Chain A
Amino acid sequence: MAEVRVANLNLSFGSFRALQEIDLTFPDGQFFGLLGPSGSGKTSLLRCIAGFLFPESGSITIDAQEVARVPVEKREIGMVFQNYALFPNMSVAENVAFGLKVRKLAGGEVRRRVGEALELVQLEGLAQRRPRQLSGGQRQRVALARALVTNPRVLLLDEPLSALDKALRVDMQIELKRIQREVGITTIFVTHDQEEALTLSDRIGILRQGKLVQEGSPRAVYAAPADVFTASFLGDANLFRGRREEGALRLETGELLRHPDGKAGAVLAVRPESIAINLAEPPREAGANRLKAQLTQRIFAGATATCLLEWNGQVLKVLARDQDLVDLPESGPVWLSWPVEKTISLAEDTR
């Protein structure tokens, strides 16, 4: 078990700067999600930590040992690949045993640990199967057992759930989290699925164009995104632009939106679930912002409903409990209101 630290990491492919000055600590025993759109550098960062890519400059330490120049096989890592990469010419047991056999462990020891690993992922009965005889979820478990059986210092997951269908993915998320907790291993996880990252991670790091944009607990990053990109990448956000005033933003249409942040940027974001919709004009009060908008569509989704509204040529989204919307028409003028403290002020994206 170990803490992984990355400092001043730079990596280029030709003239493309894949990673720029990345500084990040992956705390011991925690589940860390690296999140970003494709081309953001999240996979490159994972492959640098694994040892498949070598950075031009910067340091990578695992358990305080510098590994930036150490080859993969000497790093004591475990990795699960997107397509699982199970060896087709070996049985499940042989796949799991591979890492122990290259370490020249005795046969009895190998058998014991393979048994334990298969038990951990609940696949005891399938030891003699070939990978092609397994379902997607079972392959996933074998890959995980194979990666963990050598007691690696860190577990790296490269979009491990993206090949599974939706229902199975949710099961595997729970399973993955259970196993990670049980083993207590530092885990670094790459995904482009923000929901998955929020569900699984103790901490997340958001990358964009090779740079680390923000890092923190999922709840903290969701509640206080650093910039416009993060606000709209992680969850949905209604964005308002305007002229800065003392503790507030003056919109083009003349309304004033207040926010709790003194040193705010020129963009405000409001999460769809923070907004309430009313037919009647809410009273003016200091603790709330309000706007008049045109309801255009209601999308029913069981317990919740998403309302699309038009305001000043811009589409706004509100997520509400469906039962709160019974008095509303399908479309027409409505009032939106939300607490000032739910108004997030953002920096414009740095390029």
Chain B
Amino acid sequence: MQRGRFYRLSGRIFLVLVLLFLYAPILVMALMSFNRSEFYVLPIDFSTHWYSALAENEEILASAWRSIWIACVVTVIATALGTAAALAFFRYSFPGKRILQILLFPPIAIPWLITGTAMLIFFFSVGIDRGTPAVILGHVALALPYVIVVVTARLATFDRTLEEAARSLGASAWQTTRAVTLPWISSGIVAGALFAFAVSFDQFVISYFLSEPGDTTLPVIIYSAIRKGFTPEINAISTIIIVISMGLMLAASRFFRFGGER
């Protein structure tokens, strides 16, 4: 009895410490974004001053919008390509399929710094200039494996005879995909899309390497702003980003339980 209670209690304390470790810095930053003082003077003098300042900061706002629409474009491309690739892996067997599937994983593990350098060199050598198209290309390449992995996991629960049944009833391959396969994997596709959006929106290294100065994404702007001199506006924009990112991840986890069935 005594022992059981001890274990339960220590377990709880451990959990609290982990959560504290994860969220304390974020919480402090979020709180400071509402503090009028520029120098983190306590107690907090509640104000939305930095948010209004942010609303007038053209550079940050422009880069935020650019980040969002780049992430949207990346999401559409990566989700479409990734879903098509996952369906191809699911339906067909072709030479080199296994190797191709294995090769999908390293890009997730290779440090972005290295991927970014490699892309920069590669794009330069094939004549793709730094700029938004290069950024989009790079982000799509990063996001694609995530989409494929998530959609493939969902497809693993799909019963192939459903497709055969649809075909036997006179449906073409496309009608079958649209009416039977896609509805089944839609939760996987949505989760994959959210991952793709998050990968693109949060991406710093590749954006930094591949974008043109003065025409870049929000994380890059934040980075340069910090180097120039920190202002609590950064706290404000970071808090907004965190809220959006956590919202996306919560949404993704609603649609996709890692490793299987909804």
Q: A52-B164, A88-B184 are in contact. Are A83 and B169 (CB under 8 A)?
A: no
Cα distance A88–B165 in the bound complex, in angstroms: 12
B175 CB to closest chain A CB (Å) equals 5
Q: Is the CB of B168 within 8 A of A87?
A: no
B180 in the interface (beta carbon within 8 A) = yes
Q: Is the CB of B164 within 8 A of A102?
A: no
Q: Is the CB of A102 within 8 A of B159?
A: no
Per-position contact with B for A23-46: 1 when CB-CB < 8 Å, else 0? 000000000000000000000000
Interface residue stretch chosen among A70-78, A251-259, A270-278: A70-78
Q: Is the CB of A83 within 8 A of B159?
A: yes
Closest to B176 in A: A73
Give chain A residues whose Cβ lies under 8 Å from the Cβ of B175: 102
Cα distance A103–B166 in the bound complex, in angstroms: 12
Closest to A99 in B: B169
Which B residues between 153 and 211 are near A, CB-CB below 8 angstroms? 159, 161-162, 164-172, 175, 179-180, 183-184
Give chain B residues whose Cβ lies under 8 Å from the Cβ of A233: none
Q: Is the CB of B167 within 8 A of A85?
A: no
A132 CB to closest chain B CB (Å) equals 13
Give chain A residues whose Cβ lies under 8 Å from the Cβ of B179: 87, 98, 102
Q: Is the CB of A50 within 8 A of B168?
A: yes
B188 CB to closest chain A CB (Å) equals 14
Q: Is the CB of A87 within 8 A of B164?
A: no
Cα distance A72–B166 in the bound complex, in angstroms: 10
Q: Is the CB of B183 within 8 A of A89?
A: yes
Cα distance A89–B180 in the bound complex, in angstroms: 8
Give chain B residues whose Cβ lies under 8 Å from the Cβ of A87: 162, 165-166, 179-180
Give chain B residues whose Cβ lies under 8 Å from the Cβ of A86: 165
Give chain B residues whose Cβ lies under 8 Å from the Cβ of A335: none
Q: Chain B contact residues: over half helix, strand or loop, or mixed?
A: helix
Give chain B residues whose Cβ lies under 8 Å from the Cβ of A269: none
Q: A87-B180, A102-B175 are in contact. Are A73 and B161 (CB under 8 A)?
A: no
Which of A50, A73, A88 sits near B170, CB closer than 8 Å?
Answer: A73
Q: Is the CB of B159 within 8 A of A85?
A: yes
Q: Is the CB of B165 within 8 A of A79?
A: yes
Which B residues between 47 and 77 are near A, CB-CB below 8 angstroms? none
A146 in the interface (beta carbon within 8 A) = yes
Cα distance A146–B162 in the bound complex, in angstroms: 13
B169 CB to closest chain A CB (Å) equals 4
State the total of A-B contacts with C-beta under 8 angstroms.
66
B167 CB to closest chain A CB (Å) equals 4
Q: Is the CB of B162 within 8 A of A79?
A: no
Q: A88-B184, A89-B183, A89-B184 are in contact. Are A99 and B170 (CB under 8 A)?
A: yes
Give chain B residues whose Cβ lies under 8 Å from the Cβ of A89: 180, 183-184
A186 in the interface (beta carbon within 8 A) = no
Q: Is the CB of B169 within 8 A of A98?
A: yes
Give chain B residues whose Cβ lies under 8 Å from the Cβ of A78: 168-169
Q: Is the CB of A81 within 8 A of B164?
A: yes
Q: A85-B159, A85-B161, A87-B162 are in contact. Are A72 and B168 (CB under 8 A)?
A: yes
Which A residues between 195 and 240 are near B, CB-CB below 8 angstroms? none
A133 CB to closest chain B CB (Å) equals 18
A343 in the interface (beta carbon within 8 A) = no
A44 CB to closest chain B CB (Å) equals 14
Cα distance A77–B162 in the bound complex, in angstroms: 16
Closest to B164 in A: A52
Cα distance A71–B168 in the bound complex, in angstroms: 9
B7 CB to closest chain A CB (Å) equals 41
Give chain B residues whose Cβ lies under 8 Å from the Cβ of A52: 164, 167
Cα distance A83–B165 in the bound complex, in angstroms: 11
Which A residues between 81 and 114 are near B, CB-CB below 8 angstroms? 81-83, 85-89, 98-99, 102-103
B75 CB to closest chain A CB (Å) equals 24
Q: Is the CB of A85 within 8 A of B162?
A: yes
Closest to B167 in A: A72
The 5 closest A-B pairs by CB, nearest first: A99-B169, A85-B165, A79-B168, A85-B161, A72-B167
What are 8 A-B contacts defined by CB distance under 8 Å?
Answer: A51-B167, A52-B164, A73-B171, A77-B168, A81-B165, A83-B159, A98-B169, A98-B171
Known: A77-B168, A147-B169, A156-B168. 18 other contacts (CB 8 A): A73-B167, A73-B170, A74-B170, A83-B159, A85-B159, A85-B161, A85-B164, A87-B165, A87-B166, A87-B180, A98-B166, A98-B169, A98-B171, A99-B169, A102-B169, A102-B172, A146-B165, A150-B169
